[in-house]
Amino acid sequence: MSVFLAQNSYGKSRVRLVKVERGEGRHDVFDLTVDVALEGDFETAHTEGDNSLLYATDTMKNSVYALARQGPVDPPEAFALRLARHFLERVPHAGRVHVSIAQHPWDRIQADGGAHPTAFRRAGEERRLARVSATREAVGVEAGVEEMTVLKTAQSGFEGFMRDDLTTLRETADRLFATAVRATWRFNRDDVDWNASWTASRQALLATFATHDSLSVQHTLFAMGQAVLEARAEVDEVSLSLPNKHHLLVDLAPFGLDNPNEVFISTTEPFGLIEATVVREADLY
Amino acid sequence: MSVFLAQNSYGKSRVRLVKVERGEGRHDVFDLTVDVALEGDFETAHTEGDNSLLYATDTMKNSVYALARQGPVDPPEAFALRLARHFLERVPHAGRVHVSIAQHPWDRIQADGGAHPTAFRRAGEERRLARVSATREAVGVEAGVEEMTVLKTAQSGFEGFMRDDLTTLRETADRLFATAVRATWRFNRDDVDWNASWTASRQALLATFATHDSLSVQHTLFAMGQAVLEARAEVDEVSLSLPNKHHLLVDLAPFGLDNPNEVFISTTEPFGLIEATVVREADLY
Amino acid sequence: MSVFLAQNSYGKSRVRLVKVERGEGRHDVFDLTVDVALEGDFETAHTEGDNSLLYATDTMKNSVYALARQGPVDPPEAFALRLARHFLERVPHAGRVHVSIAQHPWDRIQADGGAHPTAFRRAGEERRLARVSATREAVGVEAGVEEMTVLKTAQSGFEGFMRDDLTTLRETADRLFATAVRATWRFNRDDVDWNASWTASRQALLATFATHDSLSVQHTLFAMGQAVLEARAEVDEVSLSLPNKHHLLVDLAPFGLDNPNEVFISTTEPFGLIEATVVREADLY
Amino acid sequence: MSVFLAQNSYGKSRVRLVKVERGEGRHDVFDLTVDVALEGDFETAHTEGDNSLLYATDTMKNSVYALARQGPVDPPEAFALRLARHFLERVPHAGRVHVSIAQHPWDRIQADGGAHPTAFRRAGEERRLARVSATREAVGVEAGVEEMTVLKTAQSGFEGFMRDDLTTLRETADRLFATAVRATWRFNRDDVDWNASWTASRQALLATFATHDSLSVQHTLFAMGQAVLEARAEVDEVSLSLPNKHHLLVDLAPFGLDNPNEVFISTTEPFGLIEATVVREADLY
């Protein structure tokens, strides 16, 4: 019997990097988790144990730290591009390089009446994402957010859905809508003002979530993707993943109490999971 | 500007189900986490907030429990098939249904000189996977394992790899090789003896990991996939993901001690990540 | 042989409660995880299986939701006091009731030029703590924070420590100092303006961490506790737990690069763990 | 105002150690997570930043690895004793040393018709615990288990408990009882055959859980503690913590189906938490 390698990739995941940029009397902190992966002509490593074409994942890790020293890591999209091009150069038989960066946020601590120049507080689990997928011919750049956990207590309902004999969910014009947004968006250029673009796209997501009259998670998801596309001409495609973190109204009737949408049980599982990709007309495929 | 929905799916994730089959004087326990997702013609839900075609994810959850009562949940591949066909029937405009099941293992507690008929101990974090992706025309079935954490202390090296000025990793003919295997394999039929097939494929993975003379993670990964294909004619493709959970030899020289491959630091990040798909010749694409 | 029950407690943990207070055109969200535990005369439940004195933990859970409907849950110290007194009243043979509350923070989303009245963003993993331990004779109240993750890039060193033949750590006058503060403080009264007190104590912790010239984790921990005691007369004791989340300077010399305290590896394990309790003179025990 | 240090401890947590003992043609693997903490006269480090009495936590970590090389790490109780005595000797002003070890289990992989001599599979999340607390005058040793997740499908009920107007839980003579046992037991000697003792105590816990006619969690908890005390004369005290991992019977009546204790929802929160310490008569305090 003949057995073949159909596809392969390998790399280093979760390279934890903190870079301190030490300005005059003021430091900036960049806290990144970097993943690198290569695809290409590595077949004999698999089939024959020939390591001569393997660029060690340990060397990939070293490269992340060395390149962090040799240039800026902010914005993360630019650092990812720099890393991807570096690996394409170093590994001639790599056909494609993937670099994914998650940036962990730190705010300045308020002290002595202002933002402290060298002390920081972790600003939550929301992470900024930057992803580059590069070949020798083309490069694709994506930005995004994950664990952007949001909740709205008004302008959210779910009515008029299909019912059958297995349906028990009640229709409601007023429910809590909570989700942990994961969104990534694809750029149609690679000469973008990455930080300005990211800030604007993220704000479009947040503001749309807040102000949308939501008839369903799907409905708001689409509006959020549309808002990014309308706000940013450099973005052609937005992919969103919205887990519906259900908040169940507690039945207080057994205790002689009403519950006018006030007291909820927050649950973690099961959860609805709504995912879609929203594109401009020209990109429809 | 026109904005379109390029793709979409939605469903219920992490439906936690425990079914007790109560035989005469002996119970069996099946502990499953079920994910369901639908793809299809749900565009107006996104673009117009029209819920009339949405089958609620809450109803999907109810369906899992109802179908668990109405028939067996073992083997999980068969339960996933039953669920997928149910949803295709209930939701006429769904084009594709995905059902993924993770089965959590329980062993019988040993007591009074034997395996207890109604008491169980959780047998680890390794999970059996069953996945069905079904359309009205065709059905695909996969089985697998995840979090199968294994370690070998002999027959593993990594030598002869590429070196450049960023390489510091030493070559070694004798290293610890630890990984948490995630493997899924695709069947070419759907009338398989699922439990026998799964047991044999899992054993092929474990035995190959144990006995292979490993020149790299890639080398052993390929051998593991090959072993499943050689053992099981009903399997055509095996996808493997092997994080390299590095164990670093501790440098004891500063304390006047040697360390003949004996004392290691077990690390969690960063990790190498090696992934590939292995196929039979006929399936090469 | 005689065997006895030396101590016991039981209760309900991780009751997840979200309460929405619906003001005119503006909602407030309170997101709490509540733990309840009782101690008392429950011996025969253990030794004889006599359940007649057991107040079901399910009823404790119901009580949390019912009392959340019947009165405010903010500030959490007051809600914890209300719950503790409720359980002492309901369970005559309970000698002591513990109620612990973790409050999860939500900020308002900025939209349309201001803070949105009904939409929120999860403001991180830092949690406010409130704990009450009440008997029929006395009540103790504590407040606190956990997962307050902070980092300072200046004014931190570690020099002059003990050295022996197992010591390899270098002395440094300039290191990153990162920790996830867990601090609880005990009140000497129970008629406190809880929200004002908590805000001021938390700020004392943050500002002291930021501005302290740290000679060690112990040194800064003590200063942080002292700051709370100096700021708040209603607090008599502060307990702090500071994991030292080590950031290792990357050795870039093999690549011909220097590293002037700029590029670090952020690690999760192992970690130093520094814990102490700081008290006013009068309370010294 | 005077502020004082009331108590303090510091140390290194989560030192990850894997030791391979390389016998002729057969290896043994010991996978430990070690925590070390010192108490003693470290006051000036806190109050004055005087580091001259601080033994660095980094040196504690080095010590764990060096002592692992210099002698056996199995049984973990003996290794913990060796570490504790080492630190008391190295740090003259330490009054008390705590060493806690969690041992992670590995089984041999079955291959070629037998247990493989050098390949292993992680045998779950259950961990063996060993804890030593030593002063210059006395030493206390404890052993234990954590994350011993067990489930019984028969011989478990909960009836006759207190009811009031907040009680909705139904009485049942037949419920699932699932828990993740954490148990530690204190020895009255330190010259024990640690491995034999641990194996027997663990088996007493498991067999009692399996065979007990459980009227409540408290009832079974006590029986489990009693079983250890009856089985092992070298143990004087057993502390148990049993989270009640609720399994809810699914209400299938809306779908025209019964549910004869067969289909359950497995939940993670909230959970009951039952804790107690069981002692011999002589130790009653």
Residue-level pLDDT at D281: 77
Mean pLDDT (chain D) is 97
Residue-level pLDDT at C62: 98
For B73, name the nearest residue in chain D, comparing CA atoms only.
D263
List pLDDT tens digits, range A231-278.
Answer: 999 999 999 999 999 999 999 999 999 999 999 999 999 999 999 999
Residue A285 confidence (pLDDT) above 90? no
- My answer on whether C251 and C165 are in the same domain is yes
Query: How would you classify the pairing of strands B94-104 and B127-135?
Result: antiparallel
Q: Which tokens in the block code for residue A54?
A: 């393997």
Residue C4 inside a domain? The answer is no
- My answer on whether B132 and B200 are in the same domain is no
Pick from C268, C247, C242, C105: which is nearest to C181 by CA? C242
List pLDDT tens digits, range D62-80.
Answer: 999 999 999 999 999 999 9
CB B236 within 8 A of CB B244: no
Confidence of residue C282 (pLDDT cuts 50, 70, 90): low
| Chain A adjacent subunits, 3+ CB pairs under 8 A | B, C, D
- My answer on whether C20 and C121 are in the same domain is yes
Residue A1 inside a domain? The answer is no
Residue C179 inside a domain? The answer is yes
- My answer on whether B280 and B165 are in the same domain is yes
Residue D3 inside a domain? The answer is no
For A120, name the nearest residue in chain C, comparing CA atoms only.
C151
Confidence of residue D282 (pLDDT cuts 50, 70, 90): low
- My answer on whether D38 and D58 are in the same domain is yes
Q: Quick one: average pLDDT of A112-141?
A: 97
Closest CB from B255, B268, B269 relative to C165:
B255
Domain that holds residue B109: 8-137
Residue-level pLDDT at B109: 98
d(CA D144, CA B42): 54
DSSP string for B81-146: HHHHHHHHHH-TTEEEEEEEEEEE-EEEEEETTEEEEEEEEE--S-EEEEEEEEESS-EEEEEEEE
- Between chains, do D269 and A268 touch, taking CB under 8 Å as contact? yes
In chain B, the DSSP E strands lie at: 3-23, 26-40, 94-104, 106-111, 114-122, 127-135, 139-152, 177-187, 235-244, 247-249, 263-266, 271-280
Query: How would you classify the pairing of strands B139-152 and B127-135?
Result: antiparallel
Residue B151 inside a domain? The answer is yes
B15 contacts in chain A (CB < 8 Å) = 269-270
Confidence of residue A281 (pLDDT cuts 50, 70, 90): confident
- My answer on whether B130 and B195 are in the same domain is no
d(CA A85, CA A79): 10
CB C222 within 8 A of CB C278: yes
List pLDDT tens digits, range A189-204.
Answer: 999 999 999 999 999 9
d(CA C227, CA C202): 10
Count of domains for chain A: 2
Q: Which tokens in the block code for residue C118?
A: 């009904």
Task: Say if residue D285 is exposed, middle or buried (CB neighbours under 10 Å; 0-12, 13-18, 19+).
Answer: exposed
Mean pLDDT (chain B) is 97
Taking residue C33's Cβ as centre, other Cβ atoms within 10 Å add up to: 18
List pLDDT tens digits, range C223-267.
Answer: 999 999 999 999 999 999 999 999 999 999 999 999 999 999 999
d(CA B201, CA B148): 13
- Between chains, do B176 and D18 touch, taking CB under 8 Å as contact? yes
List pLDDT tens digits, range C43-63.
Answer: 999 999 999 999 999 999 999
A269 contacts in chain B (CB < 8 Å) = 13-16
Taking residue B21's Cβ as centre, other Cβ atoms within 10 Å add up to: 14
d(CA B230, CA B70): 37
- My answer on whether B164 and B283 are in the same domain is yes
Domain boundary (D83, D109, D137) is at: D137
Residue-level pLDDT at C229: 98
Residue-level pLDDT at C281: 77
Q: Give the per-residue SS3 of A30-97.
A: EEEEEEEEEEECCHHHHHHCCCCCCECHHHHHHHHHHHHHHCCCCCHHHHHHHHHHHHHHHCCCEEEE
How many beta-carbon contacts under 8 Å exist across A and B?
251
Domain boundary (A106, A137, A168) is at: A137
- My answer on whether C283 and C161 are in the same domain is yes
- My answer on whether C163 and C43 are in the same domain is no
Question: Measured between CA atoms, how close is B272 to chain D, in angstroms?
Answer: 19
Confidence of residue D29 (pLDDT cuts 50, 70, 90): very high
Residue-level pLDDT at A282: 60
- My answer on whether A121 and A221 are in the same domain is no
Residue A283 confidence (pLDDT) above 80? no
Residue B2 inside a domain? The answer is no
ipTM for this prediction: 0.96
CB D118 within 8 A of CB D82: no
Question: Measured between CA atoms, how close is C207 to chain A, in angstroms?
Answer: 5
Residue C1 confidence (pLDDT) above 90? no
List pLDDT tens digits, range B51-61.
Answer: 999 999 999 99
Question: Measured between CA atoms, how close is A267 to chain D, in angstroms?
Answer: 8
**Residue from D109, D150, D202 to probe the interface with B (highest B Cβ count within 10 Å):** D109
**Residue from C153, C245, C259 to probe the interface with A (highest A Cβ count within 10 Å):** C153
CATH number at residue B31: 3.10.270.10
Domain boundary (B118, B137, B156) is at: B137
Is there a catalytic annotation at residue B19?
no
Residue-level pLDDT at B282: 60
Helices of type H across chain A: 43-48, 57-70, 76-90, 194-211, 217-231
Question: Measured between CA atoms, how close is A265 to chain B, in angstroms?
Answer: 16
- My answer on whether A91 and A222 are in the same domain is no
Q: Which tokens in the block code for residue B150?
A: 């294994």
List pLDDT tens digits, range B263-285.
Answer: 999 999 999 999 999 999 765 44
Q: What is the dihedral of CA D51, D54, D58, D63, to 10 degrees?
A: 150
- Between chains, do B230 and A1 touch, taking CB under 8 Å as contact? yes
DSSP string for C161-191: -B--TT--PPPBSS--EEEEEEEEEEES-S-
In one-letter notation, the amino acid at residue C39 is E
Residue D180 confidence (pLDDT) above 80? yes
Sign of the C-alpha dihedral computed for residues B209, B211, B215 and B221 taken in this order:
negative
Confidence of residue C181 (pLDDT cuts 50, 70, 90): very high
Residue A28 inside a domain? The answer is yes
A165 contacts in chain B (CB < 8 Å) = none
Residue-level pLDDT at B281: 77
Q: Quick one: average pLDDT of C31-47?
A: 97
- How far is residue C136 from each of residues C43, C85, C96, D4, measured CA to CA in Å? 19, 9, 8, 31
Residue A221 confidence (pLDDT) above 80? yes
Q: Quick one: average pLDDT of D121-144?
A: 97
A20 contacts in chain C (CB < 8 Å) = 153, 176, 261-262, 264
- CA angle, A213 as apex, A209 and A216 as ends, to 5°? 80
- Residue C88 CA neighbour count, 13 Å, CB half: 19
- My answer on whether A204 and A279 are in the same domain is yes
d(CA C146, CA A275): 33
Residue-level pLDDT at B276: 98
d(CA A46, CA A54): 10
Residue in the structure block whose two tokens are 């025990």: C285
Whole-prediction pTM = 0.97
Residue C142 inside a domain? The answer is no
